[in-house]
Structure 1
Amino acid sequence: MTSDQIFLFTLFGAVFALLIWGRVRYDLVAFCALVIATIGGFVSPDEAFSGFGHPAVVIIALVLILSRGLLNSGAVEMIAGMVLSATRSLPMHIGIMSVVGAALSAVINNVAALALLMSLDMEAAEKAKRSPSLSLMPLSFATILGGMITMIGTPPNIVIAQYRERALGESYSMFDFAPVGLCVALAGIIFVALIGWRLIPEHERAKRIRTSDDIENCVVEAQMREGSKTIGLRVTDLSPLAKEHDVLVLGLVRQGKRLPGFARDEEISKSDHLVVEGDPKSIEAFFGSAELSFSGEEKHKIGLTSPSLVLTETIVTENSRITDRSSYDLRLLSRHGITLLGVSRQGRRFRDRVRKLIIKPGDVLLLLGRPDRLDEVINWLGVLPLENRKHAVIQRKKATLAIGLFFGAIALSASGLLYLPITLAACVIAFVTMGI
């Protein structure tokens, strides 16, 4: 047999073996096989995704998947954390957010960039106690303008590039739009930041209606990551960071015992646990900034055959299995793969360890685990899940890897070595296999 035949038979054999094994999703197996065959030259790049009708459909879909991966990895949060501040003036905030939005639009698509940055902008508005309408519309314009810079930044550019290829035999490259797009984007951002936002009607901040989001804060225990920058600091040194994320450091657990008072002057060691109070989303962000991890998080394996971890809140009833018992009694982690991270008890604080706390009816439990396991355990415990109270745990340690993979794919396409949809597809596969 020729080398090509050996390659194809090996590829088919691997596909059949993975399908029979059943541990990897069949659609991921088929998608990987298509990308490998295309890179190997056995499938024409033009024919690889011909069933979708137009390459623009595939490119936009792949970019949206990658943008979600960048969000899950904490890459977007990391970039935003470097540039966002609630103390900046509104024109400065709009200018910085517009530049970030335009830059993201140029490389991931304007719709995806806006979707990623909207929540961050609204959080900044909430902290600055101003109406988000003053900055959301400029952000929308900035992402539209930034999308003009590259071929993948906006769907019309993709369509025009493909039409030119059919008509003239040569498509536009990634940055052929940049000379005009950069000038238009720069002029537009300057106008929006200095003048445009003043033309937007200012609305009063809407009064919040009390919902499940107003449930009292949870008390959670955190442990130190390997090499965490928090190790060696005093508890009081974390106060500015805690204030920035709207959480409160209540104390320190050392050798299984809670130290008296708030232990503010104690130096944090690798084996210590911090006791933190706040809402789950703020706690998750604080843990990321302080390089902390949830207790028991390392026991949850993330990768090709398991989804990402999720935080969810549930309320305990009188008939719940965990009523008048603790998570330690039920062995939630060892038997069911679920960690009880925190408890909210109508605003009251407690000194017991979270895993040994006796749960009472009306308590709100913060659980960590894989989505499929969480649903099973919630039913088994007989607790009630709260609506819209699930939060994905961001895999921040993979942020640099995610950024490198994404820009590597863009560089391969821009250099002409690989067809754009194929490089993006390969990047999607890398994101999935690495648990991003």
Structure 2
Amino acid sequence: MTFEQGLIFAILIASMGLFIWGRWRHDVVALGALLACVIVGIVPDRDAFAGFGHPAVITVACVLVLSHGLQRTGAVNRLAQRLLPSGAGALVSIAALTSLGALLSAFMNNVGALALLMPIALQISARLELPPGRVLMPLAFGTILGGMTTLIGTPPNLIVSSFRAQHGGGPFEMFDFSPVGVAVALAGVLFISLLGWRLVPKREVGNAASFDTGHYLTEARVKAGGSAEGKTLREIEQLLDEADAQVVAMVRNKLRLTAPNPRRVLQADDVLVIEADPAELGEVLGKLDLLLEAEREAREAEQQNDKNSDTEKKASNDEERAMQELLVKPDSSLIGRSASSTRLRSRYSINLLAISRQSHRSIKRLRSTLIQGGDVLLMQGSAEDIGEFASDYDCVPLAARAINIPDPRQANLALGIMILAIVAAAFGLLPTAIAFACGVLAYMLLRLVPLRAVYESIDWPVIVLLGALIPVAGAMSTTGAADLLARVLMENLAQGNAIITLTLLLVVTMTLSDFMNNAATAAVMCPIALSAASQLGVSPDALLMAVAIGASCSFLTPIGHQNNTLILSPGGFRFGDYWRLGLPLEILVVLVSIPLLLWVWPL
């Protein structure tokens, strides 16, 4: 091993460890890896940011904008309305929903496809009286499977295509992934629909409106003269036990007390941080005669406004206010911000009543708690105001909603432009990046997507991740590190057998993608696949396709793919719930894809 190979291995191992740890965002880790390679001299200065002009990066950005246009104009809702059965049983409903998710994610961002169909999935679970998780996990896995079927279905496919082009084979075309990808997706959807959904852990819920999103953390103030004043925390907790709730902290005189002494006597204006099931939240507050802190502050603000101004206030009547659960998407701009920093009341006239976080429990003040991806927020306000907030911050409303089309003409126009871009790329009329860039330009000129929304619809962390990792992956080839890893893989495990090497590449890629970002996984594994093909003296196409399939199969954990994270709280899932359906699904993917890869892409 040379010194340069040791350096690139050290940077890659550190980066993979940080990816898996998840403490820092993927784009931050990728940018750090790139700069480390530049500083130690592995990546030349002039090539440091070449990845940001790469066709794969441009294509991903354009597809994100086009996907947003399809959502905004209602084209996807129109398709869902026509294709989804309204009164079918569990098997047909889950099969139709999962198939539609796979179909949409073949041509648009799969996170967007899941977000659009998630409220429909919750309606289906309520109608069939199924736990929401048994509909949400099949839908999430279906959208992941659909991404592997086309060039634009998922970023790993574009990365794989770019590596093939760099090594003289030319890029993969739009539907080169389809023969194997469609067969694997069909097998996966059939398995999920016929049997797999029954393997999803059953998380019972009281009713569809209060599905198990985990326990909420909310703040309530002790009223002067209320029944809670003068009681000890122990007495309060005994009453809370009946509703499966507990006090996890309290605030007195702006001092937060973690795990307060049970003998402490409550005083007026003490604030209790209560953890409770959403179905029991109202009962808990009523039983103890407590006032929601958000409600109290809102009333004070309204009273102050009454003194200072006679202007009409939005949603001033209680009858106009409703409660709505919003799911924070993994790429939401709300992540890392708090209720106070987003000016919920002054800008949107809404209140944050509680936060549900499945994987961690926060006991900070509610308004100062930093929001994370996958959190479920219990908001109060008018439907219009909550909808505006959800749109601005990319949150998914978790409630039944009608399927509507803002403008049928715009929906047809957006769909037509998307189809033309796909046709132009598929038949080689234009390079893929150029074809989809033309589609974005058409969207902008026809105002299908407002100019401001064009840049807001791009998932910039993904763009930075791809732009930073492409030069790092290139350094694996130039330093010989990829050749070294491929030689170790073949000599020690595959024993020089091409079929075993192919299988190992698929399994290793699949395993890494369960813990790392799938684009990062593809960027790391593509140089190894190319080196393995060179040393075996075989065509690299099958090995690259194995990397593409493996990078698109993140089914074992909630952190491997954004769609898995998105259903964590609404489904009431735990970290270990995913493998029960995910493991047999990944085994099926291996069994189906290896023979097809050898047949479609002979070694």
How does the TM-score come out when normalised to structure 1?
A: 0.49
Higher helix share: 2
